[in-house]
Amino acid sequence: MSAVIEQTIETYGIENWGAGYFGVNRKGNLTVRPAENDNLSADVKEIIDDLKKRGINPPILLRFPQLLAGQVRKLQKAFKNSIKEFDYNGGHMCVYPMKVNQNRAVVEEYLREGKRYNFGLEAGSKAELYAALAQEHSDESLLVLNGFKDRDFIQLAFAGAQAGKNVVIVIEKLSELENTLKLADEATAENPETKLPLLGVRVKLYSKGSGKWEKSGGEAAKFGLTTTEILEVIRRLNETGRIDMLKLLHFHIGSQLTDIKRIKSAMREAARTYSKIRQMNIPIQYLDVGGGMAVDYDGSKTSFESSANYNAQEFANDVVYVIKTVCDDEDVPHPTIIQESGRYLSAYHAILVTNIQDEIETVVENLTPLTITVDDPPVVRELHDLRESINGKNYGEYYHDALENREELFTMFNLGLISLEARGKGEVLFWDVCERADEFAQQKKYVAEEFDDLRRLLCAKYLANFSVFRSMPDNWALEQLFPIIPIHKLNKKPSEYATLCDITCDSDGIVDKFVDLHDVKPVLELHKLEKGEPYYLAMMLVGAYQEVMGNNHNLFGVPHEAHIHIGEDGYIIRKVIQGATLGDSLSVVRFDTAQLHDQFRRIVMQRIKDGELTTKEGDKLINYYETQADGYTYLSPNGDE
């Protein structure tokens, strides 16, 4: 491996956040491995070139189902190890929370791998449950239902039980219990042998998580029953003779839990609650510890909000050990541990690749040769002097002078004292001084803060052909970081500092925070754009939450999607799914393409009638308009690429 490649791997932190799935090959291209540190790999640049030949242009979401399966195995193995190490007498099963990514390919791949470990699904809405009911399942697996449930939802759950699933209705509100009891009576009145759903209770813990989703836990949480409410559920179940339905105790203290200490204390509280209920002679069998296992997006292994200070094995060890210790202390059987990890399983498998369409200029560039004469106003001549005589000793002072001169330039312009041409010259000279001051400042050992700000101001702004709102909504809404990396040229040292702008007409559609081992980077090291040559970036680890949370801002629709399998002979493109067309995106806001065609036709016909277009011109125009409905909502590649 060349020294430059080693350096770029470090620059982008691939080995910190990549979990062993990503690398760089000798050509300097990003590669994906089907499993942690596997010998097989696929070249992402080759995949994109291949797709382009088929007319599939970026942005493209690449889905690598093998990585999803890899995460399932990793998690299963971690718990298997812990269970063995601590002589734990219960088992471990996952239920994948569908809300994290309900995509059919994701759910199917998860079940394909997870079925052998009795992994099931978790649904939080009627739509999710509806899809879950039709999936194949193993006999032991659970189908856990969280979220608020009306009578229809509960009835659907009964249908699932009748179809043989181990459906668990987790009671979030007492009214859900009453509906369930009523339906149970109805079902057993018809046939006493009917398979009924199981019941769970979601407990509101005093313990809180850490990180952005801290509010999901603690006393003020939206979900969960208080201690008295749980006792009331038990009383009602005893009263109605249905206490045997209660099989599961659930809690979930938030997503992306960054701090293992908080997880342990929640685990302790929940295990204690389980034990106390168990001691009331209620055969609860499952302790559902929710989701929340974090993904180390920045690779720093810290409790920073885009990171986690633990790995899967440490997480499993702590969960298993704490539950075991508490249960032994309380002298109750060890429960089967149910886990609802979503983010951890699905984040890695999807990456969004897009092209940099262009660069946006902030610095005012000199478009024609600049000549300064005695006729130029003094403020312009002073800026010119500053530019000519700035050096490594005076750059700080000269930079401040230039800032003052610029103020003066605009004041004079607003007062009508200088011409548009003089203003133009002054701006060019000002930015020249800034660029030189920046160069001198960066050579120093300690860079003053104002020059850090200046660097940010001077850095390139790359126009990336995607919508932050569609494809990385958590970056916009929550400032969550995702690793971003070129998929090629990684054998060349990046020479530019840049931030990214997306193609929406929204000034929030930018990315100006990047992952870093010790901090958050305000700029990303990228390569210089070469004319006529495409430059591709990958937004990594976007497989959890981003797809379904993405929105239609500016009507940028879902991107093209390709499913990639990595085998002995490299990659195989298993499936290509076309992204949204203009027509698709418009239908979301209730425009009907056929109707738009009619309306446009009428407008053109009028022009023909008025003699402003010939029939031939009009027909051509109509035809053109109608074919555009099938176009991609994103920018087409630059003509010369």
Residues of this chain that interact with ligand PLP (CB under 6 A) are: 97, 99-100, 146, 252, 255-256, 290-293, 340-344
Closest C-alpha among 540, 482, 573, 493 to residue 48: 573
CB of 295 to ligand PLP, least distance (A): 9
Residue 204 tokens, joined: 């509101």
Closest C-alpha among 140, 204, 206, 134 to residue 168: 140
Q: Which is nearer to ligand PLP, 198 or 604 (CB)?
A: 198
Closest C-alpha among 425, 432, 434 to residue 372: 425
Q: Which is nearer to ligand PLP, 545 or 634 (CB)?
A: 545
At a CB cut-off of 8 Å and minimum separation 6, what does 606 contact? Answer: none
- Maximum distance among all Cα pairs of the chain, rounded to whole angstroms: 103
CB of 170 to ligand PLP, least distance (A): 8
CB of 531 to ligand PLP, least distance (A): 43
Report the first-to-last Cα separation within the chain, whole angstroms.
Answer: 29
Q: Is 192 exposed, middle or buried (0-12, 13-18, 19+ CB in 10 A)?
A: exposed
Using an 8 Å Cβ cutoff, are 176 and 149 in contact? Answer: yes
Residue 470 tokens, joined: 């569609």
Using an 8 Å Cβ cutoff, are 546 and 473 in contact? Answer: yes
CB of 148 to ligand PLP, least distance (A): 12
Chain length of the chain: 641
Q: What residue type is assigned to position 226 of the chain?
A: T
Q: Which is nearer to ligand PLP, 292 or 426 (CB)?
A: 292
The DSSP letter of residue 500 is E
CB of 270 to ligand PLP, least distance (A): 13
At a CB cut-off of 8 Å and minimum separation 6, what does 171 contact? Answer: 177, 180, 199, 200, 201, 202, 225, 233
CB of 344 to ligand PLP, least distance (A): 6
Q: Which is nearer to ligand PLP, 19 or 503 (CB)?
A: 19
- Crossing angle of helices 227-239/260-278, nearest 10°? 30
E strands, 554-617, are: 560-567, 570-577
CB of 339 to ligand PLP, least distance (A): 8
CB of 204 to ligand PLP, least distance (A): 13
Q: Which is nearer to ligand PLP, 168 or 635 (CB)?
A: 168
Q: Which is nearer to ligand PLP, 88 or 213 (CB)?
A: 213
Q: Which is nearer to ligand PLP, 340 or 376 (CB)?
A: 340
Q: Which is nearer to ligand PLP, 213 or 535 (CB)?
A: 213
CB of 486 to ligand PLP, least distance (A): 29
CB of 144 to ligand PLP, least distance (A): 8
Residue nearest to ligand PLP according to CB distances in the complex: 291
The CA-CA-CA angle for residues 295, 270, 83, to 5°, reads: 65
Q: How far apart are CA 346 and CA 199, in angstroms?
A: 27
Q: What are phi and psi of 497, to 5 degrees?
A: -110, 130
Using an 8 Å Cβ cutoff, are 590 and 641 in contact? Answer: no
Q: What is the dihedral of CA 472, 476, 480, 485, to 10 degrees?
A: 50
Q: Which is nearer to ligand PLP, 75 or 454 (CB)?
A: 75
CB of 293 to ligand PLP, least distance (A): 6
Q: Which is nearer to ligand PLP, 145 or 459 (CB)?
A: 145
Rounded CA Rg of the chain: 30
Q: Cis (ω within 30 of 0) for the bond into 59?
A: yes
Look at strands 246-250 and 198-202 and give their pairing. parallel
Q: Which is nearer to ligand PLP, 347 or 386 (CB)?
A: 347
Q: How far is CA 568 from CA 28, 48, 51, 335, 571, in A?
A: 21, 19, 20, 42, 8
